[in-house]
Amino acid sequence: MILAFDTSTDWLSIAIGRSDQIIAEIEERAPRAHLNRLLPAIDDLLKKAGGAPGDIEQIAVGVGPGSFTGVRIAISTAQGLAHAIGCPLIGVSTLDTIAARLPKSNATIYPILDAKRGEVYTAGYNNLGHRVSDHQVLAPEKLARKLSESGKPVLMTGDGLEKYRDIFQNELGDLATFSKPTLWPPNASVLIKLAREKIEKEPVGSYFKVLPIYIRLSDAEESSKREKS
């Protein structure tokens, strides 16, 4: 049995699967409620699946980028459970999970997550779902110009489009296609699939080696840096 969850965004997504079957899952919008909701929701899902913590053989967790607090909650919870149960822990990029949720396309996929401070988190993915660029954090205007200059069609998804869709639409025109809003949240069932693929390709290391993808400093760290400079 594999347990997977992601709390990098306002959405809480948890799934439990076995082999190629998803046994039970939860996907709900829970802004600022992950700390209180995650463990009780996992417990509820295990009961629904007819299992117990000892039945978990692997854990997969979304490691960001996204909300600093949400990423920390997910990874600390996953590491604690992996340590207590004695099972492997697999970390998967939240952007990878979002991109893999979309249907195959001839366009390059760009998940667009709101990174606050007038920026977005993103990465590019080909039609096989493979990442073709590094994780990035940048202003949406800068990303839109770069994509426009490439002249290639793009398929975009993510909560960052709630704020910045017009910027991409105006700059990219017919080069841009936007997914249905319901398809963007990082889905734990997809996370299970990606984790299994990762397990098949490479050995799983110790749980404490699963680290967050932050890309940039948190607000508190930025403030501390400014104070010291």
Distance between CA atoms of residues 146 and 140, nearest Å: 10
pLDDT in tens, 190-229: 999 999 999 988 888 789 999 999 998 655 444 444 444 4
User: Which domains are delineated in the chain?
Assistant: 2-94+185-228 (3.30.420.40), 103-178 (3.30.420.40)
What residue type is 35 in one-letter code? L
pLDDT digits (tens, 9 = 90+) for 125-177: 998 889 999 999 999 999 999 999 999 999 999 999 999 999 999 999 999 99
Residues in contact with 150: Cβ distance below 8 Å, sequence separation at least 6, in sequence order: none
Peptide bond into 53 cis (omega under 30): no
pLDDT, position 221: 47
**Distance between start and end Cα atoms, the chain:** 50
Evaluate if pTM is beyond 0.75. yes
Q: How far apart are CA 97 and CA 95, in angstroms?
A: 5
Contact 132, 126 (CB under 8 A): yes
226: amino acid identity, one letter: R
